[in-house]
């Protein structure tokens, strides 16, 4: 999906559990689906959305760097796992479990503990 998504970007996906929830998906959105015959998740952009005569919803997808549609298109709505709703390029992949929020939380926690211990020390020193 480069250049839109880079290797290592983290994405948030809104799950699509049924065909009725597929209304949230429009042309231009990035959707997630499982690779045909596999367990990997594929991200691809919807270039066309259409409904067959029997009422089944289909999506034609194409990765941003490709000039042709994906070979597995069209995709039936039941094969769609979800829609990408956010991309965070700042979360590192080289440190599993580490996020900038975790770092900020740790700094805040240490600061609060320092203030509490300093307050207790000053109270004890003053004899309160």
* Closest to 49 measured CA to CA, from 16, 13, 10: 16
Give the model confidence (pLDDT) of 98-127 as tens digits.
567 777 888 888 999 999 999 888 888 887
Q: Please check whether residue 70 is in contact with residue 44, taking contact to mean a CB–CB distance below 8 angstroms.
A: yes
Is residue 24 domain-shared with residue 64, that is, in the same domain? yes
Give the model confidence (pLDDT) of 44-64 as tens digits.
889 998 888 888 888 888 888
Is residue 82 domain-shared with residue 61, that is, in the same domain? yes
Q: How many domains does the chain contain in total?
A: 2
Is residue 18 domain-shared with residue 59, that is, in the same domain? yes
Is residue 22 domain-shared with residue 7, that is, in the same domain? yes
Is residue 85 domain-shared with residue 100, that is, in the same domain? no
Is residue 102 domain-shared with residue 74, that is, in the same domain? no
Is residue 63 domain-shared with residue 122, that is, in the same domain? no
Q: Which has more confidence, 19 or 46? A: 46
* Structural tokens at position 74: 């069209």
With 60 as the cut, is the pLDDT of residue 95 above it?
no
* Residue range of the domain that includes 8: 1-89
Beta bridge partners of residue 41, listed in sequence order: 34
Range 87-94 average pLDDT: 64
With 70 as the cut, is the pLDDT of residue 91 above it?
no
Cα–Cα distances in angstroms (integers) from residue 72 to residues 5, 22, 66, 82, 102, in the given order: 20, 19, 14, 17, 39
């Amino acid at each position: 999906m480069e250049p839109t998504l880079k290797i290592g970007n983290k994405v948030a996906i809104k799950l699509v559990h049924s065909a009725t929830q597929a209304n949230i998906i429009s042309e231009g959105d990035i959707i997630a689906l499982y690779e045909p015959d596999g367990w990997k998740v594929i991200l691809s952009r919807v270039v066309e959305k259409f409904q067959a005569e029997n009422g089944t919803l289909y999506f034609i997808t194409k990765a941003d760097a490709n000039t042709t549609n994906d070979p597995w298109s069209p995709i039936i709505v039941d094969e769609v796992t979800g829609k990408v709703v956010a991309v965070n390029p700042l979360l590192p992949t080289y440190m599993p479990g580490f996020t900038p929020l975790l770092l900020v939380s740790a700094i805040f926690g240490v600061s609060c503990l320092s203030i509490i211990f300093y307050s207790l020390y000053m109270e004890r020193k003053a004899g309160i």
